[in-house]
Amino acid sequence: MTMLAELARLIRSKNAGPFELTFDVMFEDAARYERVKRSGALTREAVAQRYGLSPERVKFFYCDNALAVKATIPRPAVQGDLYDADGHGGQQYAPLMDIEIP
């Protein structure tokens, strides 16, 4: 088992407009990307579970030509609204880092 953060070259989160939050998990090479893609550990369901959502609220993509996995969720609080703590959405990815990849 390896942690996702050890395989990715970059895991990031960012606003996709004021109402959505998007995650990019990017890889240096095809081998590591394919390993994660085939593992079945980084999925729509895995993301949903880590952000307390039902899977149908998660948009999920494998981007082969970018060697990246992408997920988008409704923002927990609208950007800049009273209970929002992360105006750019940039520090919301930590729960993805320790996903175990076989």
Partner 1 sequence: MNEIRILSPTGVCGSGFLESSFEKALALRPHFIGCDAGSTDPGPSHLGTGEAAFPRAAVKRDLRLMLKGARRIGVPLLIGSAGTAGGDPHVEWFCDIVKEIAHEEALAFRLAVVHAQQDKTYLKKRLREGRIKPLDPAPPFEEATIDRSACIVGMMGAEPFMRALELGADVVVAGRASDCAIFAAMPVMRDFSEGIAWHAAKILECGAAAVVNRRTPDCMFAWVREDHFIVEAPDETLMCTPQSIASHSLYENADPFRLIESSGTLDLTESRYEQHGERAVKVSGSRFLPAPRYTVKLEGAEKAGYQSIVIGSVRDPFIIRQIDDWTGRLTERIHARVNQVYGETLKRADYVVHIRVYGKNGTMGPLEPVKEIRSHELCLIIEITAPTQEIASSIAGIVRHQGLHLPIPEWSGLITALACPYNPAHLDRGAVYRFNVNHVVEPDDPLEMFRTRWYAVEGALFEEIPE
Residue 88 token pair = 């750019």
97 touches partner 1 (CB under 8 A): no
Give the shortest CB-55-to-partner 1 separation in angstroms.
Answer: 16
Q: What angle do CA 69, 72, 75 make, to 5 degrees?
A: 150
**CB closer to partner 1, 75 vs 101:** 75
Residue 3 token pair = 């942690």
Q: Which of 22, 36, 46, 101 binds partner 1 (CB under 8 A)?
A: 22
For 43, what's the count of Cα atoms within 13 Å in the CB-facing half-sphere? Answer: 10
C-alpha–C-alpha distance, residues 81 and 94, integer Å:
22
Q: What is the DSSP letter of 12?
A: E
Give the shortest CB-95-to-partner 1 separation in angstroms.
Answer: 5
Binding mask 32-71 for partner 1 (x = CB under 8 A): ------------------xxx------x-x-x-xxxx-x-
C-alpha–C-alpha distance, residues 72 and 13, integer Å:
9
Binding site for partner 1 (CB under 8 A): 14-20, 22, 24, 26, 50-52, 59, 61, 63, 65-68, 70, 72, 74-83, 85-88, 91-92, 94-95
